Structure 1
Amino acid sequence: MQVFAKLAELGSFTKVAEAMQTGRPYVTRTIQELEASLGVRLFQRTTRKVRLTAEGERFYERVKEILATIAQTTSMFDRSGSTLRGRLRIDIPTAFSQHGFMESLRRFTQAYPEIEVALGVTDRTVDLVAEGIDCVLRIGDLPDSSLVARDIGSATMVTCASAGYLQACGVPQTLQALAGHRCVGFLSGQNNRPLPWHFSVEDEDRPHTPRGGITVNESNAYVQCGVAGFGIIQAPGITVGAFLDSGELVEVLGAFRPKPRRVSVLYPSRTHLAPQVDAFVDWLKKHFPVLHPDWFKAH
């Protein structure tokens, strides 16, 4: 049933074999034996795609319920102990791959030593199902999708620039003054266009399209552009707090700080949620706010 469910989600025998760390012949044989035992065809196979038949869709709905019940039953005594085991593949934005987060993740692996963690760090949009990722941590508004989102809290956004840049170019006092400044753009992984900035004016959101000589698509490089004096940036306080404390970056337009941005964990489905994923999400919700108390507010 696990092989069947994974094939229904990924639509590829090869991807199932990779995700389950087994051989493709084993996946093929398992599905053939399952169809033979049921006496129905569960998948329509083409050279490019594997799709569920009508009978397969009905069977998939029941299988998800059964696998979820099995997962809950077999882990009913393990939720608070170190006996949880299995592979946990997570993905976080580059901005969060800092010492504090890594130290917290190390404590998670110490609490659950039999969970094998595979950590991905990227700012691009990932396909959880196709890439076999259990959950992702993301900041900002979320697109409508079939993914389940669980709020972790909200992150304060800061508009800032290097002290050297401000000394040379002046400190903007109004949003209109931004037109005379260089602004570093951040390319979105979804449409490869610069993400708009946001400001709050009398509790009303005011978007702004940053314009300048450089745009980047990676969070750490984006912050370093600000530190190096390329221009003004707008970033989560989580990522620039240390530079603000040292004076390398200086906040501007503080009176127009945008509303905090949502930070969420996303995973494919409420049903058949592996115990190790559930444990990690609970851990993240409890410990992440402690990492950045000045810049992050738990919900």
Structure 2
Amino acid sequence: MRLFQMMQVFVRLAELGSFTRTAEALQMGRPQITRSIQELEASLGVRLFHRTTRKVRLTSEGELFYERAMAILGDVAEATSMFGRPNAPVHGRLRLGIPTAFAQPGFIQSLRSFTILYPEVDLALGVTDRTVDLVAEGVDCALRIGELPDSSLIARQIGKVTMITCAAPDYLRAHGTPTTLDDLRAHRAVTFLSGQNRRPLPWQFRDRGSDQPYFSHRGITVDDSNAYVECGVAGFGILQAPGIALDRYLADGSLIEVLQTNRPSPRPVSVLYPSRSHLAPQVHIFIEWLREQFPLLYGRWLES
């Protein structure tokens, strides 16, 4: 049993890269984490981590042991779950990351329904448009919009989100309403700067049976989702964003959809998590709940 516990501590430390964060995640004292790793290294006769004042990383021996430890812990978790009590309450902290587009009243209210269903699960909600390092930052799972780059993370597509092109009524009165893609050349745009490299994110339009990218070189560029939408409402130009982020503005007339016949294909929405093995029950339950509930979370803008 002691070896099993030391393996659990080892795996968490390997994932988080910090004794302090590991102690917080496992609700243990930092000295206990240190002693556990020292005892494990002594029993194996190898050094598992390179330690500096700021970072902990696996040695080559540690990397080999990590693979085996993950497999063993996963097998044990699978074996014990075979006889688990089906009605046993799920409990623990769930660290969830979502993009700003989803931080809307309808989606937040839906999360409340999850906490009512599972009252022993405490949500820790992070909202950001930057790419979150799930392992380094201790995030259990995160939602992402759009195509995903290759990574070691597990990605599961749970649905799609409708993209809307729109502008403020005052802007359209002053500059005219575009009815074709060629008309866009005469218009100003609100362009979103995406990611750490701050590259302009292209719009997409359905044209001749497929989605085509479009870049505007006129207008304002913004690197925050809330400011991005507000610039559109203020009349800086045309913008394109997930319908879930525009719902209230479209409903009250602050924004008007344009080029509806050229709406791009809905963009995929995926839930990401670090590993299939040793997945905490609260994370597994949330992913399954989200997969089933996703089309109902925010009306017409989300689909399965």
- Stretches of structure 1 that go unaligned for 5 or more consecutive residues are none
**Range that drifts further, 173-182 or 262-271:** 173-182
Matched-pair contact (CA < 8 Å) for 1:81–1:112: no
* Counterpart position of 1:153: 159
Give the deviation of 1:221 after TM superposition: 2.2
The equivalences for 1:59-74 within 5 A come to 59-74=65-80
* Counterpart secondary structure, 2:13: helix
| SS in structure 2 at match of 1:294 | helix
Q: Structure 2, unaligned stretches of length 5 or more?
A: 1-6
- Corresponding letter in the other structure for 1:183: A
For residue 137 of structure 2, the aligned residue among 119, 127, 131 is 131
Q: CA deviation at 1:165?
A: 0.8
The aligned residue for residue 269 of structure 2 is 263
Q: Which residue of structure 2 lines up, in the alignment, with residue 239 of structure 1?
A: 245
Q: Does 1:185 align with 2:160?
A: no
1:85 to 2:85 alignment: no
In the other structure, the counterpart of 1:173 is 179
The 5 Å alignment of 1:211-230 reads 211-230=217-236
When residues 99 and 80 of structure 1 are mapped into structure 2, their CA distance, relative to the original with a 3 A threshold, is farther
With 189-198 and 144-153 compared, the bigger mean Cα shift is at 189-198
How far apart, CA to CA, are the structure 2 residues paired with 1:109 and 1:212? 45
TM-score, scaled to structure 1:
0.92
1:111 to 113, 117, 130: 117
Q: Does 1:209 align with 2:215?
A: yes
Residue in structure 2 matched with residue 288 of structure 1 by the alignment: 294
**3-state SS of the aligned residue for 2:212?**
strand
Distance in 2 between the 1:231 and 1:76 partners?
57
- 1:43 shift after superposition: 2.3
- Aligned pairs, how many? 298
**Quick check: 2:294–2:303 contact (8 Å CA) kept in 1?**
no
Residues 147-173 of structure 1: CA deviation (Å, up to 9, x unaligned): 111111111111100111101110112
Question: C-alpha distance in 2, partners of 1:134/1:77?
Answer: 25
| Shift of residue 226, structure 1, vs aligned partner | 1.4
Counterpart in the other structure of 1:279:
285
- Per the TM alignment, residue 82 of structure 1 is displaced from its structure 2 partner at its CA by 6.1
Q: Please, what TM-score do these two structures have when normalized by structure 2? A: 0.90
Secondary structure of residue in 1 paired with 2:236 = coil
Q: Which moved more, 1:151-160 or 1:233-242?
A: 233-242
Structure 1 residues 82 and 93 mapped into 2: Cα distance closer, same or farther (>3 Å)? Answer: farther
